[in-house]
Structure formats: structure tokens, C-alpha cells
Structure 1
Amino acid sequence: MSSTPIQALKAEGLSCRRGFRLLFEGLDVQARAGRALVIVGPNGVGKSSLLRILSGFLAPATGRVWLEGGAQETPLREQMHYLGHDDALKGALSVAENLEFWRNVLGGDGVAVDDALEDVGLGGLGRLRAAVLSAGQKRRLAIARLLVSRRPVWILDEPTTALDVKAQARFAAFSRAHLAAGGVLVAATHAPLDLGESDELRLGKLA
């Protein structure tokens, strides 16, 4: 990848339809490096759809998405982590095997698997099958993917779902470190994330 730092993840004129319903239209987005963009709004207004559009997993009805700066020759998907509602774990594999798999797929230039498991509070559980983990533990294992492979853009959908207070604090610390290193972070959430100063994008009408 190019050594040119990413300045921002941007989108212009985005519109999204699901079936016959128009979720949003004419939407401009700017997520600046070093400053989180938090997307808020009631259920059903298109927060998850917007994240999938920004990630390249869903085509917008109109508009475009691009990175300003960074490795222009490298697709956005290869420069970002996407953490959705699905933790994307294989239950038959062990905790460590799941994380090693993602490290190999995403590029293993981050922290070692054992260190990442310690960092998210799963140290000593590496040999357990992922299927036996609690919901909160599965979420922590999914978050560990962010640590084993360094990618400059994080796109996160309700990242603290099922996490207890201690795990939420750990996640916030990882995120602030990512931003401090010049990373881009976009997160949809219903809960405070403790990311420091951030920008906010509201979809729909808040109650």
C-alpha cells in the first residue's frame, strides 16, 4: 500500500432503497482521519445500510464513496475492517483458530493472536470451541480481528452489543488508539462509545 496517509472516507449524494422504501437520499458523508464519525438514529432509518454502502458491500441507488489520500490503487475493502451484527465466527473452530484464520485472510501485520486474546479479555480461552462462548465473548473475539490485522479504516455496526462495562472500556481504548494513529472510524450505535471528540451524523428523526 502507499505510505500516503488517509485524510478521510467520503461519500457524496448517497441514496438507498430497500424494496420500495427510500431510506435516505442526497446524503453526504465525511469521516476524517483521527476523528470518529458516529451515526445515530432510530431503528429502521438505514444506519446499517449506510455502513454497508460505505464498506462497498451494498451499492447505493445514487452517489459514490471514496478515500481521500491513502493507497488509491488498493480497493477500499482491502483497507478497512467491517464489523457487523454477525460476529463471523466458525463455531467448530477454537477461539485461537478463528482469530488465526482472520489474521491470515486480512493480513497478519497486527498483534499476535495470543496477545490480541489477552487484550480483549479472552486470554487462556484460545483452545475452547467458539460455539461455547457467551454472546459477549463472541463479540470480544470479533473485536480482536481489529487488532491482529492493521487496517486504516474501521466501519463498525453497534460494536459494543453484548459487551459488559469492562469490555466496553477496552473497546473504547482500542478505538481511541486507532484514531490517535491517524485511523478512520465510522460507527453506528445506540449507546455512548467514549471515543473522545467526534462528529455525529443523524439519520431519520430521533425520538
Structure 2
Amino acid sequence: MRRVMEMVVENLACARGGVPVLEGVSFGLRGGQALMLRGPNGIGKTTLLRTLAGLQPALEGRISVPPEAMAYAAHADGLKATLSVAENLAFWARIFGQRDVDTALTDFNLGDLAQRQAQNLSAGQKRRLGLARLLVTGRPIWVLDEPTVSLDVASVALFGQAVQRHLEGGGAALIATHIDLGFEADELDVTPFRAVPREIDSFDEAFA
């Protein structure tokens, strides 16, 4: 695995639907470190992760991260329904300039399903396949939004073990989750960064 340079986030502000939700967010993430995003539902964890992943612009602040270092996974599994499990992984491996899919099949217990079409998988199996894509990206920084949705207890354990190996190999992970994934991690509660609602200064502005 490539050596990870630190991701640095400084004074970041982000919005949902044009409305600021978080501001002044600052933190660092280094190789070998897992950082868990905490905070109540709706506070802006998903918006923050989408901003970090470059899927929406920041209102202000700076994100410093090595080029092509980040792999993002959210609620969508990103699967091609008519391709088999192995073919889906091979497709994504090619996209990222990689070849090996055997590790992903093994680590997420997908070997017996390798030839099954994605459309014939259960919700939990699809989720495991979606997460297995992380292993074929070759990217050292994983940015994950509620990755354990639809996973049973055994599959959560598989995922936790995969992240642990990623960290031991010098990778880093930023994860929004409410559950314990079974490995040591730092925490960042985003509640103190909740954006202050903008005050309406005049009667006319209220009807603008």
C-alpha cells in the first residue's frame, strides 16, 4: 500500500440544500488512524463526508489530501445488476488500475457467491459486495458513511476486520457510524460545529 500523507481539514464550512449546516470544522487524519464521526442524526455528517469526497463544494475552508488518495462509500452499493460478484469487483479494479479481486472476495466472505449476479443477492450480500470494492481501489484513505447498513452481526465483524487490516497496512479511515466496529479509533463529535442560523436583518429581507 502507498504511504499515506495526512489529510488536513481547516475551517471547513458546508451546506445542505444551500443552507449551511456545519462551519469551522478542522481536523487531521494520518496513516494508521481511524476517526469516527459522531453526532445526532441530521446534524450534517453525510454533508461533511460528501464535501470531503469532492461531491459538493465547500462554502469555505481548505481540504488538503494527496491526489487520488481517497475512496468514498455511502449508502448506494454502486453495483451493476447483471454482472456477477466477481465481475463487479473486476470492473471496479480496472477503473482504479488494479487487478487483484481475490482478497476482496475472501475478506468479505464472497467466494461462494463469486458467480452470482448482483441482482440476485440479498440486501446484506449486496452491501458486503459494495464494501468489498474498497479493497480493489488501491486507495489509502477510506471515507465511509454508515457503512454497516443492512449488515448482520457477522458481516459487521468482517467489515471491522477489513478496516483493521487497512489501518495496519498504513491506510486511514474516516467513518460516520453509531456502532462499535471492534477496533481502536479516535472520535470527532461534529455537534460543536453546527452552523449558526443566519439572522434576518430586516422586514423586507424576510420576504425577499
* TM exceeding 0.5: yes
Whole-Å separation in 2 of the counterparts to 1:79 and 1:15: 22
Partner Cα distance (1:124, 1:6) in 2: 33
- Return the offset for 1:118: 2.6
2:9 matched residue in structure 1: 11
Whole-angstrom CA distance in 2 between matches of 1:62 and 1:113: 39
* Distance in 1 separating the partners of 2:10 and 2:130: 30
In 2, Cα distance between the equivalents of 1:80 and 1:107? 14
Does 2:91 align with 1:91?
no
Q: Distance in 1 between matches of 2:16 and 2:137?
A: 33
Who is 2:119 aligned against? 131
Match for residue 29 of structure 1?
27
Counterpart CA distance in 1 for 2:106 and 2:11 is 42
TM-score with structure 1 length normalisation?
0.86
Give yes or no for the alignment of 1:147 onto 2:147.
Answer: no
- Quick one: which amino acid aligns to residue 86 of structure 1? A
1:41–1:98 Cα change, 3 Å: same
Deviation of 1:131 (Å): 0.8
Q: Deviations 1:154-180 (Å, cap 9, x if unpaired)?
A: 111111111111111111111111111
Matching residue of 2:199: none
Counterparts in 2 of 1:21 and 1:146: CA distance versus 1, 3 Å: same
The one of 166, 172, 175 equivalent to 1:178 is 166
Whole-angstrom CA distance in 2 between matches of 1:129 and 1:15: 41
Q: What is the alpha-carbon distance in structure 2 between the residues aligned to residue 165 and residue 51 of structure 1? A: 25
Count of residues in Structure 1 that have an aligned counterpart in Structure 2: 192
Instruction: Describe the SS at the equivalent of 1:60.
Output: coil
1:184 CA displacement: 1.4
Which residue identity does 1:87 align to in structure 2? D
Aligned partners of 1:9 and 1:184 also within 8 Å? no
Q: Which residue of 2 aligns with 1:203?
A: 190
1:188 paired residue number: 176
SS at match of 2:112: coil
Where in structure 1 do 4 or more consecutive aligned residues deviate above 4 Å?
none
Change over 3 Å in CA distance of 1:21–1:149 after alignment to 2: closer
**Identical amino acids, percent of aligned pairs:** 47
Amino acid at match of 2:59: A
- State the shift of 1:106 in Å: 1.4
Contact in 1 for aligned 2:35/2:187 (Cα 8 Å): yes
CA contact (8 A) 1:13 1:28 kept: yes
8 A contact 1:14–1:61 mirrored in 2: yes
**Gapped runs of 5+ residues in structure 1?**
none
Task: Output the CA distance in 1 between the equivalents of 2:159 and 2:17.
Answer: 35
Contact 2:107/2:162, CA 8 A, preserved across alignment: no
Partner of 1:103: 93
* Unaligned stretches of 5+ residues in structure 2: 193-208
Question: Which whole-Å CA distance do the structure 1 matches of 2:136 and 2:16 have between them?
Answer: 34
Q: Counterpart in 2 of 1:55? A: 53
RMSD: 1.8
